[in-house]
């Protein structure tokens, strides 16, 4: 598991290097707020389409080959991003990167393969911590490399390509397969759409997947408009936004890397889902009231804590429902819900930002997360039976 976490970390450093800077990258081509969020959402469109495919493929041929293919795809996509000299190239490169990012289902299935149900939340928290650590280091590096001038914002893309290539080489040399051969030879697998339909028909599993969709919609709307919001309210550029994401990453790593396992054992994943949803709702509402750096730090910490509690707990609950031979596919369905949310959430956030101002996406997100709290309260207190 340590090698997988290292690979995820290195790849996510590359991802983190680019993400906070993309709005400034797109604005270099005179893109509107809606075009900026749509460009970021197209990544999730490709991920939405690829996650179930890669998840099911990992059930059939193993986790390792899928992870290798997707890392190669990411490296090429970041290289194209760095070479982009037109807005359409940004969209195309992000679509390619999103197709490779469907590997998250295979990575989560890998963790589920090598952990017991009792330790699964901790395992999912560790992969979340690897994501968070990548977000901690990546945006700071990206901000430093790009500097304060939006004209130089393409530089971090080449660094991201190099980091994904390093992750690919480590995976080739050190990553072992986690799925037993007998599980890979199962023949009674449902098709992609049948798998999704079957998962959504299970009451608790369907509710968990819906929670993924709702919570990620709200959070992704914040992520994709934050740079525009910060530029509008405080006049921040890539450097300042990069450091703010560095701070969010520190909070995520501290929670998911060190505390989520203990919190899960003490309170259970279901209560953590409720608490995380509530924290995100309060954080989004608080962002509309923030008028100083101190205020921004407080509310973004709440947002990081909320997602740090919510994401690994939901993933752990979903993984308990699936058998070993279909786990990748089921995780792919949940990741598709998350990816669909990252399409619709940013698109809605960009639209309301344009129509009603910079705080509008966060009012909308807070309302959505209030609904998520009510949904989470319907989950069984002891685990997630099918």
Residues 214-233: pLDDT tens digits?
998 998 888 878 888 998 89
- The answer to whether residue 275 scores a pLDDT higher than 90 is yes
Domain chopping of the chain, boundaries = 2-177+192-376
Quote the CA–CA distance of 229 and 226 in Å, as a whole number. 5
pLDDT over 90 for what percent of the chain? Answer: 17
Q: Look up residue 268 and give its DSSP letter.
A: -
Mean pLDDT of 75-89: 87
Give the containing element (helix H, strand E) for 54: helix 33-61
Identify the architecture of domain 2-177+192-376 in CATH.
Up-down Bundle (1.20)
Residues in the chain: 386
pLDDT of residue 386: 41
Quote the CA–CA distance of 280 and 341 in Å, as a whole number. 16
Give one DSSP letter per residue of 147-164, joined into a string.
Answer: TT-GGGTTHHHHHHHHHH
104 close to 51: Cβ distance less than 8 angstroms: yes
pLDDT tens per residue across span 228-239: 899 889 988 777
Tokens of 217: 């919609």
Place of tokens 């080739």: 172
Within 10 Å of residue 85's Cβ, how many Cβ atoms?
8
pLDDT of residue 110: 79
pLDDT tens per residue across span 44-78: 788 777 877 787 788 788 888 888 998 899 899 88
């Amino acid at each position: 598991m340590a090698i997988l976490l290292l690979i995820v970390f290195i790849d996510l450093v590359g991802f983190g290097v680019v993400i906070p800077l993309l709005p400034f990258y797109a604005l270099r081509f005179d893109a509107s707020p809606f075009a900026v969020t749509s460009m970021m959402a197209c990544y999730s469109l490709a991920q939405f389409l690829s996650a179930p495919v890669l998840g099911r493929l990992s059930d059939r041929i193993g986790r390792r080959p899928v992870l290798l293919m997707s890392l190669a795809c990411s490296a090429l996509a970041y290289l194209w991003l760095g070479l982009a000299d037109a807005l359409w190239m940004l969209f195309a490169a992000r679509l390619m990167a999103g197709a490779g990012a469907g590997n998250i289902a295979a990575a989560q299935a890998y963790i589920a393969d090598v952990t017991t149900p009792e330790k699964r939340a901790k395992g999912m928290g560790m992969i979340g911590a690897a994501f968070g650590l990548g977000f901690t280091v990546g945006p700071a590096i990206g901000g430093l490399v790009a500097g304060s001038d939006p004209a130089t914002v393409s530089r971090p893309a080449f660094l991201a390509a190099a980091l994904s290539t390093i992750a690919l080489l480590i995976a080739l040399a050190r990553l072992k397969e986690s799925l037993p051969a007998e599980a890979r030879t199962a023949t009674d697998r449902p098709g992609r759409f049948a798998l999704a339909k079957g998962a959504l028909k299970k009451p608790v599993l369907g509710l968990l997947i819906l929670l993924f969709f709702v919570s990620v919609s709200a959070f992704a709307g914040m992520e994709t408009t934050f740079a525009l919001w910060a530029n509008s309210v405080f006049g921040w550029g890539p450097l300042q936004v990069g450091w703010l994401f560095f701070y969010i990453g520190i909070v995520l790593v501290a929670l998911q890397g060190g505390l989520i396992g203990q919190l899960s054992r003490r309170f259970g994943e279901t209560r953590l889902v409720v608490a995380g949803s509530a924290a995100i709702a309060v954080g989004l509402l608080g962002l509309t009231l923030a008028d100083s750096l101190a205020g921004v730090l407080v509310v973004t910490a709440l947002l990081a804590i909320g997602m740090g509690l919510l994401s690994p707990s939901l993933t752990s609950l979903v993984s308990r429902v699936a058998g070993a031979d279909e786990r990748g596919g089921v995780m792919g369905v949940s990741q598709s819900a998350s990816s669909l949310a990252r399409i619709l959430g940013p698109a809605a956030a960009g639209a309301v930002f344009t129509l009603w101002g910079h705080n509008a996406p966060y009012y909308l997100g807070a309302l959505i997360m209030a609904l998520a709290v009510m949904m989470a309260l319907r989950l069984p207190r002891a685990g997630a039976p099918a």
